[in-house]
Amino acid sequence: MVELTGTLFAHPDSMAKDLKSLVRAGCLAFMGLILAASAQAANVTLMWDAPVEGGVSGYRIDYGVQPGVYTAAVDVGLATSTVIQGLTNGSPYYFVVRAYNASRQLGAPSIEVSTRAGVRVHVAGDFSGDYRSDITVFRPGNGTWYVRSTTGAVLTVPFGASSDKPVAGDYDGDGRVDVAVFRQSTGTWYIRSTASGAVQSILWGGGDDIATPGDFDGDGKTDVAVFRPSTGVWYVLNSIPGSAATALRWGGQGDVPVSADYDGDGVDDIAVFRPSNGTWYIRYSRLNNSVGLVWGGAGDIPMVADYDGDNKKDIAVFRPANGTWYIRYSGGAASAALPWGGGNDIPVAADYDGDSVDDVAVFRPSDGTWYVRYASGPSAAIRWGGSGDMPALR
């Protein structure tokens, strides 16, 4: 029996991207990305690491359109990457890889990676379009965005006013994050498209609404959305042309909106974190079913990200009181408690090295330093921004 201990990557085959070994002790790390392809079909490239103990005679990919239900299998021999072709554009797919030995005995499946065929995965803070998160702050004092790209380029963009809240996202779906702000006083969103350079203003929300942009219709474009705590209603302006706006009741006063793609179908799931009972209420997009998960509590800051790289967001909190991150991985029952940062730090988990696994990180306003703990090993302290600046990566 050959146990697969390596890494499965789902990868767009149109992109030349340096791949790193992500094997970590006792934990399978996954990277999920996708290919934007023709209108009728899409391909997904999967890559994985060979098990360190050897003894492998080949690999088999199992996949399907529902989590845990694999209706197709592809024997790829000894290759450690393959392109699954002819997938239906816009449909979510779920993959596992299994190794087999000379007797054709299959090892245990890897954890499942998922992707939405033909729709690009949004990387938080990826202003340059290289699938890495760029270190970014919005400085309310002068209404300016400061972006430090991983390529070394520096971007300074005057956009917004001192009372605005940064709401960065890929609203035009070109794979690069657009600068955007929400002006609470007038309920106006200002968005500057990276594709066209045009600035759009949209009236959506106001009062005590909390801006919570995300891709709720799964077209790869960030949608303008707010959560109204007083009534617990989410108002989403879907980006698919001709589609109606949606209003959905989920959560209430005191809840923190934490919408993200928890089930990995490429559609953000409406969710709130309730500090008073430490419960996450998630309404999954895939089946419209829901779940309540106890994780964290009062005083904790929710910091949703994909810490195990399976393309499903993981529930996590940063606890300022003890500078510890509590992460509940999506790809299994495992969890982690990682000491990183302290009292006044702002958690800013994102994928700073572009390996498709989000890195634990904090921004410390007092010394203007980003402390990044790379999922692949080392750490870094990067000076960018200062007191009063707001991290603006989403």
Of residues 272, 312, 275, 314, the one with CA closest to residue 296 = 275
Please give the residues from 214 up to 253 whose contact with Ca ion meets the rule CB under 5 A.
215, 217, 219, 221, 223, 239
> Which C-beta is closer to Ca ion: that of 140 or that of 220?
220
Contact positions with Ca ion (CB under 5 A) in 111-170: 170
Contact 118, 89 (CB under 8 A): yes
The residue among 255 and 265 lying less far from Ca ion, judged by its C-beta, is 265
Other Cβ atoms closer than 10 A to 272: 24
Select from 194, 279, 356, 369 the one that contacts Ca ion (CB under 5 A): 194
Dig out the tokens for 304 from the structure: 């949703």
Give the C-alpha separation, 48 to 76, whole Å: 12
For residue 366, the minimal CB distance to Ca ion (Å) is 31
List the one residue from 133, 285, 356, 369 that touches Ca ion (CB under 5 A): 285
Q: Does 314 bind Ca ion (CB under 5 A)?
A: yes
Binds Ca ion by CB under 5 A, chosen from 306, 345, 353, 359: 306
State in angstroms the smallest separation of the CB of 251 from Ca ion: 17
Residue 279 half-sphere exposure toward CB, CA atoms < 13 A = 10
Tokens of 80: 């450690």
Binding residues for Ca ion restricted to 330-349, rule: CB under 5 A: 330
Nearer to Ca ion, 183 or 221 (CB): 221
DSSP letters for 357-389: SPBEEEEETTTTEEEEE-TTS-EEEEE---TT-
Q: Could you say whether residue 308 binds Ca ion (CB under 5 A)?
A: yes
Q: Which among 71-79, 111-119, 192-200, 270-278 is the span making contact with Ca ion, rule CB under 5 A?
A: 192-200
Determine the Cα–Cα distance for residues 260 and 215; give it in Å rounded to an integer: 8
Contact 102, 54 (CB under 8 A): no
- Under the binding rule (CB under 5 A), the answer on residue 209 touching Ca ion is no
Helix and strand numbers (H, E) in the chain are 0, 32
Applying CB under 5 A, the residues found at the interface with Ca ion are 170, 172, 174, 176, 178, 194, 215, 217, 219, 221, 223, 239, 261, 263, 265, 267, 269, 285, 306, 308, 310, 312, 314, 330
